Structure 1
Amino acid sequence: MCGIAGVLHADPKQPVDPETLVAMAAIQYHRGPDGFGYRVEKDRGVGFSHARLTIIDLDENRGRQPFASQDGNLMLAVNGELYDYKRIRTELTSRGAKFRSKSDSEMVLHLYERYGLEETLKQMRGEYAVALYDRAKDRLMLIRDRFGVKPLYWTEVNGKIVFGSEIKVLFAHPDVPRRFNAQGLYHQLMQTVVPGTTAFDGIHQVKPGHVITFERRHGKFEIKDERYWDMDFPLLSERGEPEDDEVYIEGVRRELMEAVQLRLEADVPVACYLSGGIDSCITLGLSAANQQSPVKAFTIGFDNKDYDETPIAKEMAESVGADQDIMRLNADHLYDNLVETLWHAERTIYNTLGVAKLLMSRHVNQAGYRVVVTGEGSDELFAGYPAFRRDMFLHGLDHMDPAERASWEQMLAESNKLFSGAMLAENELDDPALSDLVGFTPSCLQPWLATAAHVPGLMSGAMREQVQGYEPGRAIAEALDGDMIEGRHPLDKAQYVWIKTMLEGQILTWGGDRVDMANSMEARPPFLDHHLAEFATKIPPSMRIRGRTEKYVLRESMKGLLPKVLYEREKFAFMAPPAHTDPKKWAAMKALADEYLSDEAIEAAGLLDPAGVKALFALHEAEDTSASTQVQLDAVINHMIGVQVLHSHFVAQDVPALARRKAQELGWAA
C-alpha cells in the first residue's frame, strides 16, 4: 500500500525534473511513510516516484519502487494489494521469471512481459492503482481496480501528462493549475460527483475497471480510455429459472470465505473494523475462523444512541473471542477535525462519518496496526440499502396485490425514518435524463438531486453564469454506460447506478481509502473481490431482497456465524449524527461556518454567494422546516464549508512549495 506519481512529456527530449518527482512523493508521505523511490528515463521524457508503506516484504531496499524489468523496457509503480500472488509467482518462476523482491506488486512486470496487458488484467485480483510504462511501445498505462478502491488521478497540461494517487500530488507539480471547475463546484455542493470528474479544472479520475493509455504521436498525446471490467448483471431474458436457494447460499459462502482468506495475507498483523452491521461482523467472524489467535476488532461508538452500534458489536466480538477496542466519539470531536479530513478527502463530505473514520484510522495506527479487513461492498452486492428496497418495491414488484403493497408501504415508512433527507429523499423526485436511461430515477440519487435546487443560489455570480442551463442528473446519466443498464431487472439497475456513483465517489473515498491512508492504514474489503461480485450478479433479485429482508442470501450463508439479534436485524446505515441533532455539534459547525463562510472568506475565494449562504441558514432554522429537510440542509452546509476549506487547502495555498518543504523535512532528495 503506497502512493504513486509520475510525469510523461509529449516531447521525449524534455527531461523530467527528479526534484519534482520527489516532492510529489513527499506530499503523499501519509500513504507511504516507510521510504520513497523515483526513476527517470532521461531519453524518454518519463519518470515515476513512489512513497512506500511496507505490508508485503518488509525489506526496505528489496521492495523499493518504481520497479524496472531486467532489460530496462518496463517501469512500474503500484499502489495497493494484489492477492493470490504466491500462486502466480510460483507459476511465473517456473516460466523463467526472476523476482528481485517478495512484493506482490512486482509480479505485474513479469505477467505483462509474458502475457501482455489483457491477460495481466485478468490475473490482477485485489485493490490497486498501477502506472506501467512500456519503452518499446512508448506507452504509459494507468490502471485502476475494478471498483475504485484505490484512487488514481491524471491531467494533461503544457505538453505533459501528470498523474498521482491524490489530487494534491498533481498540484505539487508547478505546471498544474489549481482552480475550481464550475460544474465540479456544482456537484460538490450537491454531493454526487459525475463519474470520472473532480472539483478541479482539468483534473480527471481513472474510472474503476478502466485502463487509460497515453501514446505519443508527433509531439501530441493519443489517449485511449478502455474498460476492462464492469459489474455485468445478466439481461432479464438470460436469467431463466433460478436454481435452488442452496446453490446461491453455498456459492456466496464459498466465494466470501476465499476472499477473506486472501485478505488476511500480510507480513504485519491484520485487524478488523467492527460496527453493529452484519457486514463487518461477517468479516470478523470469518477472520477469526482463519486465525489461531484472537482477532483485534476496532469499533467506533457515538454518544447519540440512535446512531451508536456498540452494544451489538460487543455481542459479536464476544461470540468469536475477539479482542475489541472501542473508541468513543463525542459530537464536538467531529467538526474539530473536519478541516484535516478535507485535506485528505479532497472533496466535500455531507456527513462527519468521514471525520470519525479518520480518527479511527489514527487510533488503529497508534495501536500498532496498519491493515484492517472491512465490510464495504456488501450492501452493493446484496442490495442492503433502503434505496434498493424502495426501488424494488416501486419498480420490481408490480404483481403485488393491494394488501401486500400496503404492507410494504408501511414497512418502508417505518424503517426509512432515520435515512430520510440523507440516504432517501423526503419526496419522490423524477429526473428526466436518468429516468430515460434507467426507466426510473434511482432512489439513491434522489436526495442529492433534491439538494441541487439550492445550488445555483449558493454559487457566486461568475460561477453561476457558467452553469446556466446545466442539468446535473443529465451529466451523471451521460457518464453511465446504458448498455450495462438496458434490459436488466430494476434492482440490478439500482445497484449498478449506486456502484458507479455513491460507492466509488463517496464510500470508497471519504469513507474509505482517503481517511484510512491519511494515517498510513490499509483497508481491505473482501466483499469487493471481483470473483465474489461476478457470482453475486447471478443471484436472483428475490434472493437479495426477500419480503422485508434485505441481503437475504448473505444472511442465510452466514446464519451460523451471526448472533440471532444480528441475523434478524434490518439494515442500519453507519453514519455520524447530523449536526442539528446535537447542540454541541451544531455549535461546532457554526464556529467553522463563522470562519469559512464569513463575507470576507467568501469574497476571497470567489466560489459562493454571501446572500445565498445566509438564506440557506435561515431556511434551516425556520420553524416550519421539517426534520428531513434539516438533514438535507445539514449536508448542504457541510458542502459549503467544504468547498471553502478545499479552496484554502489547494488554491490559496502554494502546494508545490509545500511539497518541496515536506521533502526537505523528510530528508527525501533526488
Structure 2
Amino acid sequence: MCGIAGIFHADPERRVDPETLVAMAAIQYHRGPDGFGYRVQQDRGVGFSHARLSIIDLDENRGRQPFVMPDNSIMTAVNGELYDYKRIRADLTLRGVQFRTKSDSEMVMHLYRRVGLEDAIPHFRGEFAISLYDREHDRLVLIRDRFGVKPLYFTEANGAFVFGSELKVLFAHPDVPRRFSDTGLFHQLMQTIVPGTTAFEGVHQVKPGHMVIVERAHGKLKVRQEKYWDMDFPLAAERPEHDDTDEEYWIEGVREHLMEAVQLRLEADVPVACYLSGGIDSCITLGLAAASQQSPVKAFTIGFDDVAYDETAIAREMAESVGADQDIMTLQADHLYDNLVETLWHTERSIYNTLGVAKLLMSRHVNEAGYKVVVTGEGSDELFAGYPAFRRDMFLHGLDTLPPAERASWEQLLAESNKLFSGAMLAENELDDPALTRLVGFTPSCLQPWLAAADHVPGLLAPGRRAALAGYAPGAAIAGALDAEMLEGRHPLDKAQYVWIKTMLEGQILTWGGDRVDMANSMEARPPFLDHHLAEFAAQLPPSMRIKGRTEKYVLREAMKGLLPRVLYEREKFAFMAPPAHTDPKKWAAMKALADQYLSTEAIEAAGLLDPEGVARLFELHEAEDTPVATQVQLDAVINHMISVQVLHEHFVAADIPRMARRKAEALGWRP
C-alpha cells in the first residue's frame, strides 16, 4: 500500500525532471513513509516515483519501487495489495521467471511480459492502482481495481501526461493548472460527482474496472480509457424462474466466497487488525478473522457522544463473543469540526458529514497503536442490498405483484425505518429526474437526496459561474457517465445497486470515508466484501435472496447466522454516520466558527466560487423556525459542502503546491 506518481512526455526526447518526481512522491509521504524510489528513462521521456508503506517484504532496499526489468523493457509502480500472489509467483517461478523480491507487486511486470495485458489483468485480485511502461510498444498503462478502492488520477499539461495517487501529486508538477471547473464545483456542492471526474479543470480519475492506455503519435499523446470489468448483473429474462428455491446453494456460496476473501486479506508481514462498528458487516469480518487465526484479533471501534448514532454497545458484544481485544475511541461531536480542514487536505473533495473526520481520527489512533493494516466491512451493503434506498426501490419498482396486505406492511416499514437519515440517505420527498428515469426506468433513491440538494446550488454560485451553468442538469451528467448496457433489461434492484456502486460507493464511501482518510495516517484498509470473486457470485443472487420480505441482506445473515450474536442477526441496517451539526449545540457552534472563517464575505470574494448573498440566504433557511428537520439535515450537508469548497480552494488553488512538495522532499531528505 503506497503512493505512485509518473510523467510521460509527448516528446520522447524531452527530459523528465527527477526533482519533480521526488517532490511528487514527497507530497504523498503519508501514503508511504517507509521509503521512496524513482526511475527515469530519459531516452524515452518517462519517469515513475513511489512512496512506500511496507506491508509485504519489509526489506527497505529489496522492496523499493519502481520495479524495472533488467533489460529496461518494462517499468512498474504499484499501489495496493494483490492477493493470491504466492500461487502466481510459484507458477511463474516454475516457468523460469526469476524474482528479486518477496513483494506481491513485482509479479505485475513478469505476468505482463509472459501473458500480455489482457490475460494478466484477470489475475490481479485485490485493491490496486498500477502504472506500467512498456518500452517495446512505447506505451503507458494505468490500471485501477474493479471497485475503485485505490485512487488514481491523471491529466495532460504542456505536452506531458501526469498521473498520481492523489490530486496533490499532480499539482506538485509545476505545469499542471489548479482551478475549479464550473461543473466540478457544482457537483462538489451537491455531493454526488459525475463518475470519472474531479472538482478541477482537466483532471480525471481512472474509472473503477478500467485501464488508461497512453501512446505517442507524431509528437502528440493518444489517451484512451477501456473497461476490463464491471458489476454484471444477469438480464432479468435470463434468471431462472425459480432460482430462489434452493436457498442453501446461495447461502453456502456466500459463506465460501466470503471466508476465502477474508483469509486472503489477513496475509501480511505485519499485524492485521479490524475496524468494528455495530453493523453486521464489520462484525462478520471480525468474526471470520478471529476464526481464521489463533491469536486474538485487535478490533478498533469509533464511539460518538450522541446515543442516537453510537454503536459501541453492540460492537462490544461482538468483540466479547469472539474474544477480540477491543479498543474504543469515543469522539465528541464538536471536536470533529476542529479537524475538518486537515481532513479536506486528504479527501481532496467536499464531504457532507463529519464521518470522514471521525475516520481520519480513528486511523491516526490505529497508527499510534502500532498497526498498519485493518480489514473492514465496506462493500457488503452494495452486494447484498443493505441500504434503505435499495429497500425503497425494491418496493416501488420491483414488487408489482405484492398482495394488498403485504404491500401495506412494506409501506409501514418504509415509513418507520431509518427516520434518522431522511434528508441525507433518503430524500424528504420523492424526486424524478428525467434523464435518469429514461436510463434506469426510475430515479434511483440513492441519488434523490443529492439531486434535491442540487436545487440550492445555482443560488450559491458566484454570478459568473452561475451564468456559465445556466440550464445545467446534474442528473443528466451523471446518467451520461453510466453504462446503459449494464442497466438495460436488469431487475430494478440490480439497477439500483449498480447506480449506487458507480456513484456513492466509489465517489464517497471508498474516498472520503475510506482510502483517503485511512492513508492520511499510513494505514491500509482491506475490504473483503469487495473481492471480485465474491462480487461476481453476489451479482447472480436472486433479488429475494438479498431482500426477503422485510429483511435486507437476507442471504448474508443466513450465511453468517452462526457467527453473529442474536441482536446483530435480527437488527435492521443502521448506516454508520456522524451526527449532523444541527443535532448538537456545541457541534453547531463549532461549524459556525468554521463558517465565520471560510464563508465570510471577504473569504468568498477572494476565492470567487460562491455568492455571499446566496450563502446568507441558505443559513437563514436553515435557521427558520418552520424549516422541517429533514430539510435541516439536507442543509447541514450543503453547509459542509460550502465550507469544503472554500477550504479546497485554500489548499489546492491558493497554495503553491509545487514549492510545498519540494520543501517536503527536502525536509524528508528525499533527493534524486
Normalising by structure 2, what TM-score?
Answer: 0.99
In structure 2, what is the equivalent of residue 83 of structure 1?
83
In structure 1, what is the equivalent of residue 232 of structure 2?
232
What amino acid maps onto 2:153 in structure 1? Y
Shift of 1:407: 1.1
In 2, the alpha carbon distance for the partners of 1:467 and 1:106 equals 47
What amino acid maps onto 1:516 in structure 2? D
> Given that residues 418 and 574 in structure 2 are in contact (C-alpha distance below 8 angstroms), is that contact kept between their aligned partners in structure 1?
no
In structure 2, what is the equivalent of residue 104 of structure 1?
104
> Given that residues 359 and 518 in structure 2 are in contact (C-alpha distance below 8 angstroms), is that contact kept between their aligned partners in structure 1?
yes
Secondary structure of 1:76's partner?
Answer: strand
For the aligned residue pairs, the C-alpha RMSD in angstroms reads 0.5
In 1, the alpha carbon distance for the partners of 2:267 and 2:42 equals 38
Secondary structure of 2:389's partner?
Answer: helix
Say yes or no: does 1:534 pair with 2:539: no
5 Å matches for 1:432-447? 432-447=434-449
What amino acid maps onto 2:107 in structure 1? M
In 1, the alpha carbon distance for the partners of 2:309 and 2:48 equals 44
> Given that residues 461 and 609 in structure 2 are in contact (C-alpha distance below 8 angstroms), is that contact kept between their aligned partners in structure 1?
yes
In structure 2, what is the equivalent of residue 153 of structure 1?
153
Q: Which moved more, 1:350-359 or 1:415-424?
A: 415-424
What amino acid maps onto 1:4 in structure 2? I
In 2, the alpha carbon distance for the partners of 1:239 and 1:405 equals 24
In 2, the alpha carbon distance for the partners of 1:2 and 1:463 equals 37
Shift of 1:326: 0.0
In structure 1, what is the equivalent of residue 18 of structure 2?
18
Shift of 1:71: 1.8
In structure 2, what is the equivalent of residue 222 of structure 1?
222
Shift of 1:416: 2.5
Gaps of at least 5 residues in structure 1 are: none
In 1, the alpha carbon distance for the partners of 2:43 and 2:378 equals 44
In structure 2, what is the equivalent of residue 260 of structure 1?
262
How many residue pairs end up in the alignment?
A: 670
In structure 2, what is the equivalent of residue 341 of structure 1?
343
What amino acid maps onto 1:552 in structure 2? Y
Shift of 1:70: 2.1
In 2, the alpha carbon distance for the partners of 1:436 and 1:217 equals 39
In 2, the alpha carbon distance for the partners of 1:4 and 1:34 equals 14
In structure 2, what is the equivalent of residue 283 of structure 1?
285
Secondary structure of 1:372's partner?
Answer: strand
The share of aligned pairs that are identical, in percent, is 80
In structure 2, what is the equivalent of residue 178 of structure 1?
178
Candidates 368, 372, 375, aligned match of 1:373: 375
What amino acid maps onto 1:410 in structure 2? Q
In structure 2, what is the equivalent of residue 52 of structure 1?
52
In structure 1, what is the equivalent of residue 661 of structure 2?
659
Shift of 1:533: 0.0
5 Å matches for 1:149-548? 149-240=149-240, 241-242=242-243, 244-548=246-550
Shift of 1:31: 0.1
Shift of 1:119: 1.1
Deviations 1:571-598 (A, max 9, x none): 0000000000000000000000000000
In 2, the alpha carbon distance for the partners of 1:393 and 1:418 equals 20
Secondary structure of 1:651's partner?
Answer: helix
In 1, the alpha carbon distance for the partners of 2:348 and 2:491 equals 35
> Given that residues 300 and 327 in structure 2 are in contact (C-alpha distance below 8 angstroms), is that contact kept between their aligned partners in structure 1?
yes
In 2, the alpha carbon distance for the partners of 1:464 and 1:271 equals 47
What amino acid maps onto 1:147 in structure 2? F
Secondary structure of 1:264's partner?
Answer: coil
What amino acid maps onto 1:634 in structure 2? D
In 2, the alpha carbon distance for the partners of 1:414 and 1:452 equals 26
In 2, the alpha carbon distance for the partners of 1:238 and 1:408 equals 27
> Given that residues 212 and 226 in structure 2 are in contact (C-alpha distance below 8 angstroms), is that contact kept between their aligned partners in structure 1?
yes
Greater than 3 Å deviation, 4+ residue runs: none
> Given that residues 340 and 354 in structure 2 are in contact (C-alpha distance below 8 angstroms), is that contact kept between their aligned partners in structure 1?
yes
Candidates 551, 564, 567, aligned match of 1:565: 567
In 1, the alpha carbon distance for the partners of 2:183 and 2:569 equals 43
In 1, the alpha carbon distance for the partners of 2:459 and 2:659 equals 35
In 1, the alpha carbon distance for the partners of 2:161 and 2:42 equals 16
> Given that residues 561 and 569 in structure 2 are in contact (C-alpha distance below 8 angstroms), is that contact kept between their aligned partners in structure 1?
yes
In 2, the alpha carbon distance for the partners of 1:79 and 1:384 equals 30
Say yes or no: does 1:603 pair with 2:605: yes
> Given that residues 81 and 128 in structure 2 are in contact (C-alpha distance below 8 angstroms), is that contact kept between their aligned partners in structure 1?
yes
What amino acid maps onto 2:317 in structure 1? E
Deviations 1:212-249 (A, max 9, x none): 00000000111121000000000011111305000000
In 2, the alpha carbon distance for the partners of 1:177 and 1:644 equals 18
Secondary structure of 2:504's partner?
Answer: helix
Candidates 590, 594, 597, aligned match of 1:592: 594
In 1, the alpha carbon distance for the partners of 2:134 and 2:104 equals 20
In 1, the alpha carbon distance for the partners of 2:511 and 2:648 equals 15
In 2, the alpha carbon distance for the partners of 1:506 and 1:70 equals 41
Gaps of at least 5 residues in structure 2 are: none
In 2, the alpha carbon distance for the partners of 1:44 and 1:468 equals 45
Deviations 1:3-50 (A, max 9, x none): 000000000000100000000000000000000000000100000000
In structure 1, what is the equivalent of residue 138 of structure 2?
138
In 2, the alpha carbon distance for the partners of 1:174 and 1:566 equals 52
Normalising by structure 1, what TM-score?
Answer: 1.00
In 2, the alpha carbon distance for the partners of 1:213 and 1:293 equals 45
What amino acid maps onto 2:583 in structure 1? T
